[in-house]
Amino acid sequence: MVADLDIRFDWVFEGDNVEMKIIMLGSPGAGKGTQAKRIAEKYSIPHISTGDIFRANIKNDTELGKKAKTYMDQGLLVPDELVVALVVDRLKQGDCSNGCVLDGFPRTIPQAEALDAALKAINGRVDYAVNVEVPDANIVERMSGRRACLNCGATFHLKHIPAKVEGICDVCGAELVLRDDDKTETVLKRLKVYHDQTQPLIDYYTKQGVLVEVDGTKDKSEVFEAIINILEQ
Ligand code: AMP
């Protein structure tokens, strides 16, 4: 049970800007990862992607990776108890002292409650929950064209962000692949999982008064600009 997990924090957020605990919401493939990276770069805070952490564990063939893969390949969520412990551990690291951008976490109400409890322990809270909105119809097209480098993590799109040489990563030269979790049947399942388990977080953060929404169908730079405008209002 998530409630039984040790979620005590022994670090504090410091620095001039105390408004920098940001979480990214949106369907799989909405572009929240791209935006999270850019926000993190702009404010020099870490970008914490639970999907990336799981993929790194799968690549390194760790026990966590083996467990996570069975869920990820089916388009299902990894159980809360595995994810929460991992994120809480990550947040304790020193580079999070000025805040962070959480990408792909929380994805369920119990995860959101565990995060709140952890932040409350240090008198903190989520400052912004940024919902990147994209209709389901756009998501399938986006994800089935996505090609990923399993070596360095770079992502491309057959139509929208083509690699210079098809099938080869521009960054490190490794082969590009269609990730199992980007395959159409998996995407449809992930969208269902998103609507059932993650969408309730929209209400959850609306009630907390921290939800902000941007139109994720726009060009990436426009989406980024819209987010920054909100964060710097
Ligand atoms: P992402 O790259 O964020 O789309 O995540 C890829 C996959 O990792 C998801 O489809 C889930 O199987 C798993 N995953 C990532 N973050 C979480 C989370 N917070 N809770 C449960 N499963 C997750």
Query: How remote is the CA of residue 84 from the centroid of ligand 1, in Å?
Result: 12
Contact by Cβ (8 Å): 133, 30: yes
Identify the pLDDT of residue 91: 86
Q: How far apart are CA 79 and CA 152, in angstroms?
A: 26
- Give DSSP secondary structure letters for the chain: -GGGS---------SS----EEEEE--TTSSHHHHHHHHHHHHT--EEEHHHHHHHHHHTT-HHHHHHHHHHTTTPPPPHHHHHHHHHHHHTSGGGTT-EEEES---SHHHHHHHHHHHHTTT----EEEEEE--HHHHHHHHHTEEEETTT--EEETTTB--SSTTB-TTT-PBEE--GGGSHHHHHHHHHHIIIIITHHHHHHHHTT-EEEEETTS-HHHHHHHHHHHHT-
Q: Which of 21, 32, 55, 142 is catalytic?
A: 32
- pTM to 2 decimals? 0.83
- Report the pocket of ligand 1 as residue ranges, CB < 6 Å: 28, 50-51, 54, 71-72, 76-78, 83, 104-105, 107, 111, 181, 190
Query: How remote is the CA of residue 191 from the centroid of ligand 1, in Å?
Result: 12
Identify the pLDDT of residue 93: 85
Query: How remote is the CA of residue 104 from the centroid of ligand 1, in Å?
Result: 6
Identify the pLDDT of residue 7: 44
Mean pLDDT, contiguous 10-residue spans, the chain (233 residues): 44 46 94 95 94 92 95 90 90 86 97 92 88 94 91 91 96 94 88 96 98 96 96 89
Instruction: Specify whether domain 18-135+198-231 bears CATH 3.40.50.300.
Output: yes
Residue of 74, 84, 181 best suited for mutating to test ligand 1, as the one with most atoms within 8 Å of CB: 181
